[in-house]
């Protein structure tokens, strides 16, 4: 799988605001980034704009200013083309799973890409066999544990073989053995992984880490330097009684 500048996610002056024009809430402001590295982390506090950035990159929302391009395509407009370019692993698998059985859930993305029902079923069975999970095919998705549902969502993405996968807090809510298994599986993937998290440990091995603060880039560079600055600032804020103000 080729990962280079031609497959990158490029934001140019990208901004995202919500609410009425008279009193807009700026979720993201004037972001210009080219995300081409194989492993990228995006960190920040709650409300810093991480989730808004994920939605923007995925094309779930369009920028209110500037542009977003994935492999040269507009993700908010070219939804079908994005199937081969971009996958998203959401924090909560129940926000992602649509079908009653594992086999149906895994086949859905392939059918969306134009594969026949027979081709999709064969690909699903081959993947489950390779993963040692052939017995999952007819299982009801609601009977899987939280960790198993999370893994099912990852398998659905891998069947579609996108070049880039967006990971939204991929280890949140998982027990330690499940975290270890998922971490090992993710590390072996050839895809570009962009991990969005508030946990520095989750992105410590990334090639590049971006720190978002109030919808803007506070720092951007090698993981060690960016995370050192981020954790120091989070420790400083933790020493303050900083959560007394009510939101507007």
Number of domains in the chain: 1
Whether 142 maps to a domain, the answer reads yes
Whether 2 maps to a domain, the answer reads no
Whether 147 maps to a domain, the answer reads yes
pLDDT tens for the chain, 248 residues long, are 778 788 899 999 999 998 777 777 889 999 999 999 999 999 999 889 999 999 999 999 999 999 999 999 999 998 888 999 999 999 888 888 999 999 999 999 999 999 999 999 999 999 999 999 999 999 999 999 988 999 999 999 999 999 999 999 988 888 888 888 889 999 999 999 999 998 999 999 999 999 999 999 999 999 999 999 999 999 998 888 656 655 54
Give 144's contacts (C-beta < 8 A, 6+ positions apart): 102, 136, 152
Whether 245 maps to a domain, the answer reads no
pLDDT for res 140: 96
> How buried is 162 (Cβ within 10 angstroms: 0-12 exposed, 13-18 middle, 19+ buried)?
buried
Q: In what order do the strands lie in the sheet with 192-197?
A: 86-89, 164-168, 192-197, 39-43, 208-213, 216-221
Whether 111 maps to a domain, the answer reads yes
Domain extent at residue 107: 95-161
Whether 242 maps to a domain, the answer reads no
Q: 0.85 cut: is pTM over it?
A: yes
Whether 136 maps to a domain, the answer reads yes
Residue with tokens 């895994």: 106
pLDDT for res 243: 63
- Tell me the Cα Rg of the chain: 19
Whether 64 maps to a domain, the answer reads no
């Amino acid at each position: 799988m080729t990962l280079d500048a031609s497959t990158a996610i490029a934001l140019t002056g990208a901004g995202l605001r919500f609410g009425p024009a008279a009193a807009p809430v700026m979720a993201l402001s004037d972001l210009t980034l080219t995300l081409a590295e194989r492993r990228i982390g995006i960190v920040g506090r709650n409300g810093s704009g991480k989730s808004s950035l994920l939605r923007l990159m995925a094309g779930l929302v369009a920028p209110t200013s500037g542009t977003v391009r994935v492999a040269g395509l507009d993700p908010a407009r070219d939804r079908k083309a994005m199937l081969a370019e971009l996958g998203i692993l959401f924090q909560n698998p129940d926000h992602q799973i649509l079908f009653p059985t594992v086999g149906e859930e895994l086949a859905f993305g392939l059918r969306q890409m134009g594969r026949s029902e027979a081709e999709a079923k064969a690909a699903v069975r081959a993947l489950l066999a390779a993963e040692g999970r052939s017995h999952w095919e007819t299982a009801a998705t609601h009977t899987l544990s939280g960790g198993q549902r999370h893994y099912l969502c990852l398998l659905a993405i891998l069947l579609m073989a996108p070049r880039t996968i967006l990971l939204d807090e991929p280890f949140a809510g998982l027990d330690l053995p499940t975290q270890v298994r998922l971490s090992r599986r993710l590390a072996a993937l050839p895809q570009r992984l962009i991990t969005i998290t508030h946990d520095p440990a989750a992105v410590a091995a990334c090639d590049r880490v971006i720190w978002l603060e109030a919808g803007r880039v506070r720092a951007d560079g090698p993981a060690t330097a960016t995370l050192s600055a981020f954790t120091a600032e989070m420790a400083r804020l933790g020493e303050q009684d900083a959560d007394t103000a009510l939101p507007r």
